[in-house]
Amino acid sequence: MTTATAFAAPNTPTNTPSNTLTLTPTSTPTLDCCQSDKVLGTGTAGGGVSQISGPLGIAVGTTRVYVADGGNNRIDVYDKSGIVAPPPITEAFWTANTSLIQGLALDGFNYLYAADFHNNMVFKIDLSNNAVVTTFNGMGGSMPSSMNGPIGIWCNSQGTTVVVVENLSGKRVRIFQQQGGGYFPVQQLVPGAAATNFTPVGVTADAAGNLYVSDDDFTTEFYIWKFAAPSYASAVTVADNSTGHLLDPRFMTFDSAGDLYVGNRGTIGPSSFSVFDSSVSFIYQCFAGAGVSFINAQGVGVDEFGHVYITDEVNNRVVRYQACPLVTLPTPTFTSLSTPTPTMTNTPTNSPTLTTTISPTNSPTYTPTKTPTNSPTNSPTPTMPNSPTPTPTSTMSPTPISSATATATAIGCGAPIESYCYPNPAVGNSATVLFNLCESGSVQLNLYNVAANLVETYIFQGSMGVNNFPIDIGGLSHGIYYYVVKAQSSRGLHQSKTCKFAVVR
């Protein structure tokens, strides 16, 4: 005979730490699309080194900002901090050979293209040795006629295709292809009957190669035309002034995210710049910010950090606006931690409630459904982190990736280099940049802080396919950082979009 005992359910011990870890951001993300943070030039007309007189076009590179100084008939150069840098060509050359530089464009091989409005010429300048390598005026090719008022200009990253807008009599947009040492027109863009008074000014292209042309006749026609790649045979209007978003649209540019920026000269209203997304849907418009206004805004440029540069023709300067949205990484603070003291709220009671007598024909083994715990552990020791890792409240949604799972799909050489940084957010002294190359080549990785200052440059040889390159972040402080991967191979220069990651301390 076996006697089985039923037990009452024991009370459950509760271990509650005496305090709680809290994270309190010292700052919060700020959204201000029209906050100016820097001015290039003194704001006073004159021929001094740091003076700009009537700026028109602008081109923004990785480390330099190039300004078409219409009043001084030269190209002024600034670094990203607003300090004057040496010009690409001497002022004496511009005075002797040019008259009213307007549009500027940069390719991926350190060449600058400048449209000379009055001399009906385009200059190609090698920025590595500050020399003009070629000029062209439209003669030859399939359309043997010279330029007439070149104003807007765009080139592809290889420098093999240049698109020029001609704004005087015979207003037109022509595509030039590099042939040998020169450039020759191969196609003319015609918007169609919908353009009753076609007056093209600015031109740019999206990542897919579609061309966009601003149409501004100063009176009634304010459009942006899209010419679809690869034929560019027809055009459609993708934006107009029906809602006041195009107030004399002039020069334009795309940023790395695919947003379109348009400078509005403001003949029929106040000067501004308008921003559209990749589908050319309106996002926002800036007329001024923090007491800084601009008049006759023509040139517009965007750097890899999202800073917007606007030429202020009447006030003789360039106004820079902060990235939108402006994300400020919060710095967490922690409450004082004491040692948690677990507290047992009750004591398990094991009390038999009845006794059952079982007389089986054989001797089975009976197992109670509840097993009492006669010696509960009353002092559990919770594990508290020595270095709590805060989660930054930014627009990023990072997912740390281990090197074992870091992969990338193959890409063609015509696409931007696929890249990301892991872990993200990064802690400690190192992080890894993954990037995918279509073929082996020389790689340059530039690392920047949020002020657009170059922090570090790595130059090394990359192999075809997925590359994992370690970077040293031991000297980086808490905050947001950006990087760009450039690769030079037999198929030309390719680069990634501007990538972002966070360092948490």
Q: Which residue has the higher pLDDT, 270 or 148?
A: 148
Note whether residue 394 is domain-resident.
Answer: no
Residue 292 confidence class, pLDDT cut points 50, 70, 90: low
Whether residues 316 and 458 fall in one domain: no
What's the mean per-residue pLDDT of the chain?
77
Cβ–Cβ under 8 Å, residues 235 and 227: yes
Query: In this predicted model, what pLDDT tens digit does every residue of 433-480 receive, in sequence order?
Result: 999 998 899 999 999 988 788 899 999 999 998 999 999 998 899 889
Shared-domain flag, residues 292 and 431: no
| 293 part of a folded domain | yes
Of 102, 117, 73, the closest CA to residue 298 belongs to 102
Q: Which residue has the tokens 């040492």?
A: 181
C-beta separation of 83 from 49 below 8 A: no
What count of other Cβ atoms lies within 10 Å of the Cβ of residue 241? Answer: 19
299-335, pLDDT tens digit by residue?
999 988 888 999 999 999 999 987 664 333 343 443 3
The pLDDT of residue 58 is above 50: yes
189, 175 contact by CB (below 8 A):
yes
Q: Sorting pLDDT into bands at 50, 70 and 90, what band is 482?
A: very high
The tokens of 167 are what? 């704004």
**Single residue among 287, 321, 355 that ends a domain in this structure:** 321
Q: What is the DSSP string of 419-470?
A: EEEESSSB-TTEEEEEEEESS-EEEEEEEEETT--EEEEEEEEE-SEEEEEE
Question: Residue 231: inside a domain, yes or no?
Answer: yes
Q: Is residue 404 part of a domain?
A: no
Beta strands in 8-45 (DSSP E): 23-25, 36-40
- For 108-141, give one letter per residue: b (16+ CB within 10 A) or e: beebbbbbbbebbbbbbbebeeeeeeebbbbeeb
Instruction: Report the distance separating Cα 157 and Cα 494, nearest Å.
Output: 8
For residue 32, what pLDDT is reported?
52
pLDDT score at 271: 87
CATH label of the domain that carries residue 72:
2.120.10.30
Direct distance between the N- and C-terminal alpha carbons of the chain, in angstroms, rounded to an integer: 68
- Do 164 and 306 belong to one domain? yes
Residue 191 lies in domain? 36-321
Residue 268 confidence class, pLDDT cut points 50, 70, 90: confident
pLDDT interval class at 414 (50, 70, 90) = low
5 is a domain residue: no
Whether 176 is in a domain gets the answer yes
Confidence of residue 376 (pLDDT cuts 50, 70, 90): very low
Q: Are residues 307 and 450 in the same domain?
A: no
User: What is the predicted pLDDT for the residue at 257?
Assistant: 85
425: in domain: yes
How many domains does one find in the chain?
A: 2
Q: Which of 257, 292, 321 is the last residue of a domain?
A: 321
Contact 215, 203 (CB under 8 A): no
Q: What's the CATH code of the domain at 459?
A: 2.60.40.2550
More confident residue, 178 or 329: 178
Is 97 in a helix, a strand, or coil? helix
Tell me, yes or no, whether 155 and 279 share the same domain.
Answer: yes
Domain assignment of residue 355, yes or no: no
Domain end (from 290, 321, 352): 321
Residue 287 pLDDT greater than 70, yes or no: yes
Encode pLDDT of 23-52 as tens digits.
Answer: 343 333 334 567 888 899 998 898 888 899
Identify the pLDDT of residue 153. Answer: 97
Q: How confident is the model over 140-176, as pLDDT tens digits?
A: 666 778 899 999 999 999 999 999 999 887 789 999 9
Structure tokens at 68: 């078409």
Q: What is the radius of gyration, based on Cα positions, of the chain?
A: 32
List the beta strands (DSSP E) in 28-110: 36-40, 55-60, 64-69, 74-79, 84-85, 101-106
188-240: per-residue pLDDT in tens?
A: 998 876 677 889 999 999 999 999 999 988 777 789 999 999 999 889 999 98
Could you tell me the two tokens for 232? 């560019």
